A and B are shown apart, each in its own frame.
Chain A
Protein backbone atom coordinates (compact mmCIF):
# COMPACT_ATOMS: atom_id res chain seq x y z
CA UNK A 1 0.00 0.00 0.00
CA UNK A 2 1.25 3.44 -0.81
CA UNK A 3 0.91 6.31 1.61
CA UNK A 4 1.70 10.00 1.32
CA UNK A 5 3.37 9.82 -2.04
CA UNK A 6 4.38 12.81 -4.11
CA UNK A 7 1.45 14.28 -5.96
CA UNK A 8 3.30 14.30 -9.28
CA UNK A 9 4.03 10.62 -9.52
CA UNK A 10 2.40 9.00 -6.51
CA UNK A 11 5.61 7.08 -6.11
CA UNK A 12 7.35 5.70 -3.09
CA UNK A 13 10.57 3.71 -2.87
CA UNK A 14 9.65 0.46 -1.18
CA UNK A 15 12.82 -1.53 -1.59
CA UNK A 16 16.01 0.39 -1.48
CA UNK A 17 19.54 -0.34 -0.52
CA UNK A 18 20.96 3.13 -1.05
CA UNK A 19 22.96 4.12 1.97
CA UNK A 20 22.54 7.82 2.63
CA UNK A 21 25.73 8.71 4.41
CA UNK A 22 27.78 11.74 5.24
CA UNK A 23 31.19 11.04 3.76
CA UNK A 24 32.67 14.47 4.30
CA UNK A 25 31.88 15.05 7.94
CA UNK A 26 33.26 17.36 10.60
CA UNK A 27 36.89 16.67 9.64
CA UNK A 28 36.25 18.54 6.42
CA UNK A 29 34.53 21.32 8.38
CA UNK A 30 37.71 21.57 10.50
CA UNK A 31 39.72 21.68 7.30
CA UNK A 32 37.76 24.62 5.86
CA UNK A 33 37.55 26.47 9.16
CA UNK A 34 41.25 26.18 10.07
CA UNK A 35 42.29 27.10 6.52
CA UNK A 36 40.14 30.24 6.63
CA UNK A 37 41.90 31.39 9.80
CA UNK A 38 45.36 30.45 8.45
CA UNK A 39 45.01 32.30 5.17
CA UNK A 40 42.90 35.10 6.67
CA UNK A 41 45.68 35.99 9.11
CA UNK A 42 48.10 36.36 6.20
CA UNK A 43 45.67 38.68 4.39
CA UNK A 44 45.33 40.81 7.51
CA UNK A 45 49.07 40.92 8.17
CA UNK A 46 49.60 42.18 4.64
CA UNK A 47 46.91 44.83 5.12
CA UNK A 48 48.58 45.91 8.36
CA UNK A 49 51.90 46.22 6.54
CA UNK A 50 50.30 48.47 3.96
CA UNK A 51 48.23 50.48 6.42
CA UNK A 52 50.53 50.96 9.36
CA UNK A 53 53.94 49.22 9.14
CA UNK A 54 55.07 50.56 12.50
CA UNK A 55 52.49 48.31 14.18
CA UNK A 56 54.04 45.25 12.55
CA UNK A 57 56.76 45.16 15.20
CA UNK A 58 56.16 42.31 17.59
CA UNK A 59 53.34 40.93 15.42
CA UNK A 60 55.16 39.41 12.47
CA UNK A 61 56.34 36.23 14.15
CA UNK A 62 53.32 35.50 16.42
CA UNK A 63 50.80 36.09 13.62
CA UNK A 64 52.76 33.97 11.16
CA UNK A 65 53.21 31.18 13.75
CA UNK A 66 49.46 31.22 14.48
CA UNK A 67 48.71 31.05 10.77
CA UNK A 68 51.20 28.19 10.40
CA UNK A 69 49.55 26.27 13.27
CA UNK A 70 46.09 26.67 11.74
CA UNK A 71 47.38 25.67 8.31
CA UNK A 72 48.78 22.53 9.89
CA UNK A 73 45.49 21.82 11.66
CA UNK A 74 43.92 22.07 8.21
CA UNK A 75 46.49 19.68 6.73
CA UNK A 76 46.18 17.15 9.57
CA UNK A 77 42.39 16.98 9.30
CA UNK A 78 42.60 16.70 5.52
CA UNK A 79 45.01 13.83 5.96
CA UNK A 80 42.90 12.14 8.66
CA UNK A 81 39.88 12.31 6.39
CA UNK A 82 41.50 10.06 3.80
CA UNK A 83 40.46 6.44 4.04
CA UNK A 84 43.94 5.51 2.83
CA UNK A 85 45.91 8.22 4.59
CA UNK A 86 49.34 6.57 4.21
CA UNK A 87 49.01 6.92 0.45
CA UNK A 88 48.93 10.70 0.66
CA UNK A 89 52.15 10.83 -1.35
CA UNK A 90 50.21 9.58 -4.39
CA UNK A 91 48.92 13.15 -4.80
CA UNK A 92 52.48 14.27 -5.45
CA UNK A 93 53.65 11.34 -7.52
CA UNK A 94 50.51 10.57 -9.55
CA UNK A 95 48.94 14.02 -9.73
CA UNK A 96 45.84 14.48 -11.84
CA UNK A 97 45.75 18.17 -12.64
CA UNK A 98 42.05 18.44 -13.50
CA UNK A 99 41.37 17.82 -9.83
CA UNK A 100 41.07 20.83 -7.53
CA UNK A 101 42.14 18.45 -4.75
CA UNK A 102 45.54 17.96 -6.41
CA UNK A 103 46.04 21.61 -7.24
CA UNK A 104 45.04 22.60 -3.72
CA UNK A 105 47.36 20.09 -2.09
CA UNK A 106 50.33 21.38 -4.06
CA UNK A 107 49.54 25.03 -3.40
CA UNK A 108 48.87 24.49 0.30
CA UNK A 109 52.19 22.65 0.64
CA UNK A 110 54.04 25.52 -1.02
CA UNK A 111 52.18 28.03 1.15
CA UNK A 112 53.01 26.25 4.40
CA UNK A 113 56.64 25.80 3.26
CA UNK A 114 57.00 29.54 2.63
CA UNK A 115 55.44 30.33 5.98
CA UNK A 116 57.95 27.99 7.63
CA UNK A 117 60.87 29.78 5.94
CA UNK A 118 59.53 33.18 7.03
CA UNK A 119 59.17 32.04 10.63
CA UNK A 120 62.62 30.42 10.62
CA UNK A 121 64.23 33.59 9.26
CA UNK A 122 62.55 35.70 11.93
CA UNK A 123 63.39 33.38 14.80
CA UNK A 124 67.03 32.80 13.82
CA UNK A 125 67.39 36.45 12.81
CA UNK A 126 69.16 35.23 9.72
CA UNK A 127 70.64 37.60 7.26
CA UNK A 128 69.18 36.51 3.99
CA UNK A 129 70.83 36.34 0.66
CA UNK A 130 68.58 39.02 -0.71
CA UNK A 131 68.47 41.43 2.16
CA UNK A 132 70.42 42.17 5.28
CA UNK A 133 67.40 42.45 7.54
CA UNK A 134 65.10 39.49 8.34
CA UNK A 135 62.14 41.86 8.58
CA UNK A 136 62.80 43.17 5.08
CA UNK A 137 62.93 39.60 3.78
CA UNK A 138 59.74 38.84 5.73
CA UNK A 139 57.85 41.83 4.35
CA UNK A 140 58.94 41.16 0.78
CA UNK A 141 57.99 37.48 0.99
CA UNK A 142 54.68 38.41 2.63
CA UNK A 143 53.51 39.90 -0.66
CA UNK A 144 54.00 36.59 -2.49
CA UNK A 145 52.54 34.55 0.34
CA UNK A 146 49.48 36.82 0.34
CA UNK A 147 49.07 36.30 -3.39
CA UNK A 148 49.31 32.54 -2.87
CA UNK A 149 46.81 32.71 0.01
CA UNK A 150 44.08 33.70 -2.48
CA UNK A 151 44.03 30.42 -4.46
CA UNK A 152 44.83 28.43 -1.32
CA UNK A 153 41.71 29.69 0.37
CA UNK A 154 39.62 29.43 -2.81
CA UNK A 155 40.53 25.98 -4.03
CA UNK A 156 38.08 24.26 -1.67
CA UNK A 157 35.34 26.06 -3.58
CA UNK A 158 36.80 24.40 -6.67
CA UNK A 159 36.54 20.97 -5.04
CA UNK A 160 32.95 21.66 -4.09
CA UNK A 161 32.16 22.86 -7.60
CA UNK A 162 33.64 19.65 -8.99
CA UNK A 163 31.44 17.69 -6.60
CA UNK A 164 28.67 18.00 -9.16
CA UNK A 165 26.25 15.81 -7.27
CA UNK A 166 25.72 18.48 -4.62
CA UNK A 167 23.80 21.39 -6.13
CA UNK A 168 24.15 23.62 -3.11
CA UNK A 169 27.92 23.84 -3.55
CA UNK A 170 28.13 26.25 -6.43
CA UNK A 171 31.34 27.82 -7.60
CA UNK A 172 30.51 31.55 -7.74
CA UNK A 173 28.88 31.68 -4.33
CA UNK A 174 31.23 29.20 -2.67
CA UNK A 175 34.31 31.09 -3.80
CA UNK A 176 32.87 34.35 -2.46
CA UNK A 177 32.00 32.60 0.80
CA UNK A 178 35.50 31.12 1.10
CA UNK A 179 37.22 34.48 0.71
CA UNK A 180 34.75 36.12 3.09
CA UNK A 181 35.33 33.34 5.62
CA UNK A 182 39.04 34.16 5.42
CA UNK A 183 38.57 37.91 5.87
CA UNK A 184 36.02 37.34 8.66
CA UNK A 185 38.09 34.87 10.67
CA UNK A 186 41.41 36.53 9.79
CA UNK A 187 40.29 39.96 11.01
CA UNK A 188 38.78 38.35 14.11
CA UNK A 189 41.99 36.45 14.84
CA UNK A 190 44.27 39.47 14.37
CA UNK A 191 42.06 41.59 16.65
CA UNK A 192 42.49 38.95 19.36
CA UNK A 193 46.20 38.39 18.69
CA UNK A 194 47.06 42.06 18.31
CA UNK A 195 45.59 43.05 21.67
CA UNK A 196 47.25 46.18 23.03
CA UNK A 197 49.89 46.10 20.29
CA UNK A 198 47.32 47.47 17.86
CA UNK A 199 46.20 51.08 18.01
CA UNK A 200 42.50 51.87 18.37
CA UNK A 201 42.45 53.12 14.81
CA UNK A 202 43.89 49.84 13.48
CA UNK A 203 41.50 47.81 15.61
CA UNK A 204 38.60 49.79 14.21
CA UNK A 205 39.93 49.11 10.72
CA UNK A 206 39.98 45.35 11.32
CA UNK A 207 36.62 45.64 13.08
CA UNK A 208 35.21 47.20 9.91
CA UNK A 209 36.58 44.31 7.85
CA UNK A 210 35.02 41.87 10.30
CA UNK A 211 31.64 43.58 10.19
CA UNK A 212 31.59 43.97 6.41
CA UNK A 213 32.69 40.36 5.82
CA UNK A 214 29.92 39.18 8.13
CA UNK A 215 27.39 41.35 6.32
CA UNK A 216 28.37 40.17 2.85
CA UNK A 217 28.52 36.49 3.81
CA UNK A 218 25.13 36.82 5.50
CA UNK A 219 23.64 38.44 2.39
CA UNK A 220 24.86 35.57 0.19
CA UNK A 221 23.48 32.94 2.58
CA UNK A 222 20.14 34.71 2.75
CA UNK A 223 20.00 35.07 -1.04
CA UNK A 224 20.56 31.35 -1.46
CA UNK A 225 18.13 30.60 1.35
CA UNK A 226 15.35 32.68 -0.22
CA UNK A 227 16.00 32.36 -3.96
CA UNK A 228 18.10 29.20 -4.33
CA UNK A 229 15.10 26.92 -4.47
CA UNK A 230 13.88 28.60 -7.64
CA UNK A 231 16.87 27.28 -9.54
CA UNK A 232 16.63 23.54 -9.15
CA UNK A 233 14.55 20.81 -7.62
CA UNK A 234 17.64 19.48 -5.85
CA UNK A 235 18.45 22.81 -4.24
CA UNK A 236 14.85 23.09 -3.06
CA UNK A 237 15.07 19.64 -1.51
CA UNK A 238 18.37 20.44 0.19
CA UNK A 239 17.12 23.75 1.54
CA UNK A 240 14.24 21.80 3.04
CA UNK A 241 16.72 20.66 5.68
CA UNK A 242 17.42 24.23 6.77
CA UNK A 243 13.89 25.49 6.34
CA UNK A 244 12.22 22.73 8.30
CA UNK A 245 12.21 22.48 12.07
CA UNK A 246 14.85 19.81 12.50
CA UNK A 247 18.43 19.62 13.68
CA UNK A 248 19.92 21.42 10.69
CA UNK A 249 17.42 24.28 10.73
CA UNK A 250 18.43 25.02 14.32
CA UNK A 251 22.13 24.67 13.56
CA UNK A 252 21.81 26.89 10.49
CA UNK A 253 20.28 29.77 12.44
CA UNK A 254 22.66 29.37 15.37
CA UNK A 255 25.49 29.69 12.86
CA UNK A 256 23.99 32.76 11.16
CA UNK A 257 23.47 34.51 14.49
CA UNK A 258 26.78 33.63 16.08
CA UNK A 259 28.99 34.07 13.01
CA UNK A 260 27.35 37.03 11.35
CA UNK A 261 24.42 38.82 13.00
CA UNK A 262 25.81 39.18 16.53
CA UNK A 263 29.34 40.15 15.37
CA UNK A 264 27.82 42.81 13.08
CA UNK A 265 25.85 44.26 15.98
CA UNK A 266 28.82 44.05 18.35
CA UNK A 267 31.20 45.71 15.88
CA UNK A 268 28.74 48.58 15.47
CA UNK A 269 28.33 48.90 19.24
CA UNK A 270 32.08 48.77 19.81
CA UNK A 271 32.53 51.71 17.42
CA UNK A 272 29.85 53.73 19.17
CA UNK A 273 31.16 53.02 22.67
CA UNK A 274 34.86 52.68 21.73
CA UNK A 275 34.94 49.36 23.55
CA UNK A 276 37.69 46.83 22.89
CA UNK A 277 35.93 44.12 24.84
CA UNK A 278 32.86 44.28 22.60
CA UNK A 279 35.13 44.00 19.58
CA UNK A 280 36.95 41.03 21.14
CA UNK A 281 33.62 39.35 21.82
CA UNK A 282 32.58 39.93 18.20
CA UNK A 283 35.85 38.33 17.09
CA UNK A 284 35.40 35.25 19.28
CA UNK A 285 31.79 34.76 18.16
CA UNK A 286 32.74 35.11 14.49
CA UNK A 287 35.44 32.44 14.78
CA UNK A 288 33.20 30.01 16.67
CA UNK A 289 30.14 30.68 14.53
CA UNK A 290 32.05 30.19 11.30
CA UNK A 291 32.61 26.54 12.19
CA UNK A 292 28.87 25.98 12.61
CA UNK A 293 27.98 27.85 9.43
CA UNK A 294 30.50 25.85 7.39
CA UNK A 295 29.38 22.57 8.90
CA UNK A 296 25.68 22.96 8.08
CA UNK A 297 26.38 23.95 4.49
CA UNK A 298 28.82 21.06 4.09
CA UNK A 299 26.60 18.36 5.53
CA UNK A 300 23.11 19.04 4.24
CA UNK A 301 23.74 18.44 0.52
CA UNK A 302 25.02 15.00 1.46
CA UNK A 303 21.67 14.00 2.95
CA UNK A 304 19.88 13.82 -0.40
CA UNK A 305 19.46 10.43 -2.06
CA UNK A 306 21.38 10.43 -5.33
CA UNK A 307 19.63 7.40 -6.76
Chain B
Protein backbone atom coordinates (compact mmCIF):
# COMPACT_ATOMS: atom_id res chain seq x y z
CA UNK B 1 0.00 0.00 0.00
CA UNK B 2 1.22 3.46 -0.84
CA UNK B 3 -1.02 6.24 0.35
CA UNK B 4 -1.03 9.49 -1.56
CA UNK B 5 -2.83 12.78 -1.97
CA UNK B 6 -4.07 14.63 -4.99
CA UNK B 7 -5.54 18.12 -4.98
CA UNK B 8 -7.60 19.26 -7.93
CA UNK B 9 -6.85 22.96 -8.02
CA UNK B 10 -9.70 23.50 -10.50
CA UNK B 11 -12.02 22.64 -7.65
CA UNK B 12 -10.27 24.30 -4.69
CA UNK B 13 -11.95 27.61 -3.84
CA UNK B 14 -9.62 28.68 -1.04
CA UNK B 15 -12.08 28.32 1.82
CA UNK B 16 -9.34 27.07 4.17
CA UNK B 17 -11.66 24.49 5.67
CA UNK B 18 -8.88 21.92 5.38
CA UNK B 19 -6.47 24.16 7.27
CA UNK B 20 -8.84 24.56 10.17
CA UNK B 21 -9.85 20.90 10.23
CA UNK B 22 -6.17 19.96 10.38
CA UNK B 23 -5.48 22.42 13.18
CA UNK B 24 -8.34 21.10 15.25
CA UNK B 25 -7.66 17.42 14.57
CA UNK B 26 -3.95 17.61 15.30
CA UNK B 27 -3.96 20.39 17.91
CA UNK B 28 -1.53 22.39 15.82
CA UNK B 29 -0.40 25.36 17.92
CA UNK B 30 -0.88 29.02 17.04
CA UNK B 31 1.52 30.36 14.45
CA UNK B 32 2.29 26.95 12.97
CA UNK B 33 0.66 24.91 10.20
CA UNK B 34 0.78 21.33 9.05
CA UNK B 35 -1.31 22.31 6.08
CA UNK B 36 -1.84 25.73 4.62
CA UNK B 37 -3.49 27.17 1.57
CA UNK B 38 -1.24 29.54 -0.33
CA UNK B 39 -2.96 32.36 -2.21
CA UNK B 40 -1.29 33.79 -5.28
CA UNK B 41 -2.67 36.56 -7.43
CA UNK B 42 -1.73 36.12 -11.05
CA UNK B 43 -1.89 38.72 -13.81
CA UNK B 44 -2.01 42.50 -13.92
CA UNK B 45 -5.06 44.52 -12.95
CA UNK B 46 -7.75 44.31 -14.27
CA UNK B 47 -6.82 40.93 -15.76
CA UNK B 48 -6.10 39.13 -12.51
CA UNK B 49 -7.11 35.87 -10.95
CA UNK B 50 -6.40 34.26 -7.63
CA UNK B 51 -5.02 30.76 -7.29
CA UNK B 52 -5.21 28.56 -4.21
CA UNK B 53 -2.74 25.80 -3.42
CA UNK B 54 -3.09 23.59 -0.36
CA UNK B 55 0.45 22.73 0.78
CA UNK B 56 1.31 19.89 3.08
CA UNK B 57 4.01 17.27 3.52
CA UNK B 58 4.40 15.32 0.27
CA UNK B 59 5.33 12.04 1.98
CA UNK B 60 8.22 11.68 -0.41
CA UNK B 61 9.32 8.25 -1.52
CA UNK B 62 12.93 9.45 -1.20
CA UNK B 63 12.48 11.73 1.78
CA UNK B 64 15.45 13.93 2.71
CA UNK B 65 13.87 14.58 6.12
CA UNK B 66 13.89 10.87 6.96
CA UNK B 67 17.47 10.54 5.77
CA UNK B 68 18.84 13.44 7.82
CA UNK B 69 16.99 12.67 11.07
CA UNK B 70 19.70 11.41 13.44
CA UNK B 71 17.35 9.50 15.73
CA UNK B 72 14.77 8.01 13.32
CA UNK B 73 12.11 10.31 14.70
CA UNK B 74 11.03 10.66 11.08
CA UNK B 75 10.35 7.23 9.69
CA UNK B 76 8.30 5.38 7.09
CA UNK B 77 5.34 3.28 8.06
CA UNK B 78 4.02 0.35 6.06
CA UNK B 79 1.39 2.33 4.18
CA UNK B 80 4.09 4.71 2.86
CA UNK B 81 3.38 7.56 5.25
CA UNK B 82 6.42 9.48 6.52
CA UNK B 83 5.51 9.62 10.18
CA UNK B 84 7.08 11.37 13.13
CA UNK B 85 7.79 10.11 16.63
CA UNK B 86 7.82 13.25 18.74
CA UNK B 87 9.16 11.37 21.76
CA UNK B 88 12.37 10.62 19.87
CA UNK B 89 12.92 14.02 18.27
CA UNK B 90 15.85 15.99 19.69
CA UNK B 91 14.87 19.19 17.88
CA UNK B 92 18.04 19.51 15.81
CA UNK B 93 16.02 21.08 12.96
CA UNK B 94 17.94 19.03 10.42
CA UNK B 95 14.65 18.01 8.85
CA UNK B 96 13.55 21.65 8.60
CA UNK B 97 16.70 22.31 6.58
CA UNK B 98 16.32 19.14 4.52
CA UNK B 99 12.70 19.37 3.38
CA UNK B 100 12.66 21.26 0.08
CA UNK B 101 8.99 22.09 0.58
CA UNK B 102 9.08 23.89 3.92
CA UNK B 103 6.68 21.28 5.25
CA UNK B 104 8.22 20.88 8.72
CA UNK B 105 8.06 23.26 11.65
CA UNK B 106 9.30 23.14 15.22
CA UNK B 107 6.26 22.88 17.48
CA UNK B 108 6.61 25.78 19.94
CA UNK B 109 4.90 23.82 22.70
CA UNK B 110 6.72 20.51 22.54
CA UNK B 111 9.94 21.91 21.03
CA UNK B 112 9.99 19.04 18.57
CA UNK B 113 9.61 18.82 14.82
CA UNK B 114 6.13 18.29 13.43
CA UNK B 115 4.40 18.09 10.06
CA UNK B 116 1.44 16.61 8.23
CA UNK B 117 1.22 12.86 8.84
CA UNK B 118 -1.71 12.29 6.43
CA UNK B 119 -3.56 11.87 9.76
CA UNK B 120 -1.85 8.51 10.33
CA UNK B 121 -3.82 8.03 13.55
CA UNK B 122 -7.13 8.35 11.71
CA UNK B 123 -5.99 6.05 8.89
CA UNK B 124 -5.16 3.43 11.54
CA UNK B 125 -8.87 3.53 12.49
CA UNK B 126 -9.98 3.36 8.83
CA UNK B 127 -10.96 7.02 8.71
CA UNK B 128 -10.05 9.60 6.10
CA UNK B 129 -7.69 12.49 6.94
CA UNK B 130 -9.48 15.41 8.58
CA UNK B 131 -8.82 17.76 5.65
CA UNK B 132 -10.43 15.34 3.19
CA UNK B 133 -13.57 15.14 5.27
CA UNK B 134 -13.74 18.92 5.68
CA UNK B 135 -13.35 19.88 2.01
CA UNK B 136 -16.77 21.04 0.75
CA UNK B 137 -15.91 20.54 -2.93
CA UNK B 138 -13.97 17.26 -2.67
CA UNK B 139 -10.82 18.86 -4.02
CA UNK B 140 -8.70 16.62 -1.77
CA UNK B 141 -8.50 13.09 -3.10
CA UNK B 142 -6.77 10.59 -0.88
CA UNK B 143 -6.09 6.88 -1.31
CA UNK B 144 -3.85 4.01 -2.28
CA UNK B 145 -1.65 4.80 -5.27
CA UNK B 146 -0.84 1.14 -5.76
CA UNK B 147 -4.49 0.16 -6.18
CA UNK B 148 -5.48 0.94 -9.81
CA UNK B 149 -9.14 1.01 -8.83
CA UNK B 150 -8.73 3.66 -6.10
CA UNK B 151 -10.13 7.12 -6.63
CA UNK B 152 -6.71 8.71 -6.66
CA UNK B 153 -5.26 6.22 -9.18
CA UNK B 154 -8.19 6.74 -11.52
CA UNK B 155 -7.90 10.50 -11.15
CA UNK B 156 -4.22 10.32 -12.11
CA UNK B 157 -5.04 8.11 -15.11
CA UNK B 158 -7.85 10.38 -16.28
CA UNK B 159 -5.97 13.68 -16.11
CA UNK B 160 -3.03 14.83 -18.17
CA UNK B 161 -1.94 17.81 -16.11
CA UNK B 162 -0.85 15.91 -13.01
CA UNK B 163 2.14 17.55 -11.39
CA UNK B 164 4.27 17.33 -8.27
CA UNK B 165 6.21 20.10 -6.57
CA UNK B 166 9.93 20.48 -7.36
CA UNK B 167 10.41 17.21 -9.27
CA UNK B 168 14.02 18.22 -9.89
CA UNK B 169 14.81 17.57 -6.22
CA UNK B 170 14.40 13.83 -6.80
CA UNK B 171 12.26 13.32 -3.72
CA UNK B 172 9.43 11.54 -5.61
CA UNK B 173 6.52 13.13 -3.79
CA UNK B 174 3.35 11.14 -3.12
CA UNK B 175 1.31 14.27 -3.38
CA UNK B 176 -0.06 15.42 -6.72
CA UNK B 177 -1.76 18.48 -8.11
CA UNK B 178 -4.13 18.80 -11.03
CA UNK B 179 -4.54 22.20 -12.63
CA UNK B 180 -1.42 23.73 -11.10
CA UNK B 181 0.87 26.30 -12.69
CA UNK B 182 4.25 27.83 -12.04
CA UNK B 183 2.79 30.38 -9.66
CA UNK B 184 1.19 27.77 -7.47
CA UNK B 185 3.98 25.19 -7.34
CA UNK B 186 7.17 27.23 -7.54
CA UNK B 187 7.86 29.48 -4.53
CA UNK B 188 10.22 31.62 -6.57
CA UNK B 189 7.70 32.33 -9.33
CA UNK B 190 5.84 34.84 -7.22
CA UNK B 191 6.82 37.75 -5.07
CA UNK B 192 6.08 38.21 -1.42
CA UNK B 193 5.64 41.94 -1.14
CA UNK B 194 6.01 43.53 2.25
CA UNK B 195 2.65 44.90 3.31
CA UNK B 196 0.58 42.79 0.94
CA UNK B 197 0.32 39.69 3.09
CA UNK B 198 -2.54 39.19 5.48
CA UNK B 199 -0.39 37.67 8.20
CA UNK B 200 2.70 39.81 7.91
CA UNK B 201 2.80 40.71 11.55
CA UNK B 202 2.13 37.27 12.82
CA UNK B 203 2.92 36.61 16.45
CA UNK B 204 5.24 33.69 16.90
CA UNK B 205 5.79 31.78 20.09
CA UNK B 206 9.43 31.51 21.16
CA UNK B 207 11.28 28.72 19.42
CA UNK B 208 14.06 27.59 21.69
CA UNK B 209 16.44 30.10 23.17
CA UNK B 210 18.27 31.21 20.12
CA UNK B 211 15.98 32.76 17.57
Enumerate chain A interface residues (CB-CB to B < 8 A): 1-6, 8-19, 21-27, 80-85, 87-88, 90-91, 94-96, 98-102, 105, 159, 162-166, 233-234, 237, 302, 304-307
Docked-complex contact B191 and A98, CB < 8 angstroms: no
Chain A residues whose C-beta falls within 8 Å of the C-beta of B70 in the assembled complex: 90-91, 95-96, 99, 101-102, 105
Chain A residues whose C-beta falls within 8 Å of the C-beta of B40 in the assembled complex: 11-14
Alpha-carbon gap, A221 to B183, bound state (A): 32
The answer to whether A90 and B71 touch (CB under 8 A), given A11-B191, A163-B97, is yes
Closest beta carbon of chain A to B208's beta carbon, Å: 5
Enumerate chain B interface residues (CB-CB to A < 8 A): 31-33, 36, 38-45, 48, 50, 55, 64, 66-72, 88-94, 96-103, 105-106, 111-112, 169, 171, 181-183, 187-193, 196-199, 202, 204, 207-211
Docked-complex contact A306 and B101, CB < 8 angstroms: yes
Chain B residues whose C-beta falls within 8 Å of the C-beta of A2 in the assembled complex: 41-45, 48
Docked-complex contact B191 and A82, CB < 8 angstroms: no
Docked-complex contact B189 and A307, CB < 8 angstroms: no
Docked-complex contact B93 and A307, CB < 8 angstroms: no
Alpha-carbon gap, A12 to B39, bound state (A): 9
Alpha-carbon gap, A233 to B38, bound state (A): 21
Q: Is the interface of A mostly helix, strand, loop or mixed?
A: loop
Alpha-carbon gap, A10 to B187, bound state (A): 13
Alpha-carbon gap, A233 to B186, bound state (A): 11
Q: With contacts defined as CB atoms under 8 Å apart, how many contacts are there between chain A and chain B in the complex?
A: 209
Closest beta carbon of chain B to A14's beta carbon, Å: 5
The answer to whether A22 and B94 touch (CB under 8 A), given A15-B197, A306-B187, is no
Partner of B43, one of A10, A84, A87: A10
Docked-complex contact B112 and A11, CB < 8 angstroms: no
Docked-complex contact B64 and A82, CB < 8 angstroms: no
Chain B residues whose C-beta falls within 8 Å of the C-beta of A82 in the assembled complex: 90-92
Closest beta carbon of chain B to A3's beta carbon, Å: 7
Docked-complex contact A165 and B43, CB < 8 angstroms: no
Partner of A4, one of B43, B93, B100, B191: B191
Closest beta carbon of chain B to A16's beta carbon, Å: 5
B94, B207, B209, most chain A CB atoms within 10 A = B94
Instruction: Pull 11 A–B residue pairs with CB atoms less than 8 Å apart, ordered by A.
Output: A2-B48, A5-B190, A17-B199, A17-B202, A18-B36, A21-B204, A26-B210, A81-B92, A84-B111, A95-B70, A305-B102
Q: Which residue of B lies closest to A169 (CB)?
A: B97
**3 nearest CB pairs, A to B:** A83-B91, A306-B102, A15-B39
Docked-complex contact A9 and B182, CB < 8 angstroms: yes
Alpha-carbon gap, A162 to B44, bound state (A): 39
Closest beta carbon of chain B to A169's beta carbon, Å: 8
Chain A residues whose C-beta falls within 8 Å of the C-beta of B88 in the assembled complex: 87, 90, 94
B99, B190, B209, B211, most chain A CB atoms within 10 A = B190
Q: Which residue of B lies closest to A81 (CB)?
A: B210
Q: Which residue of B lies closest to A306 (CB)?
A: B102
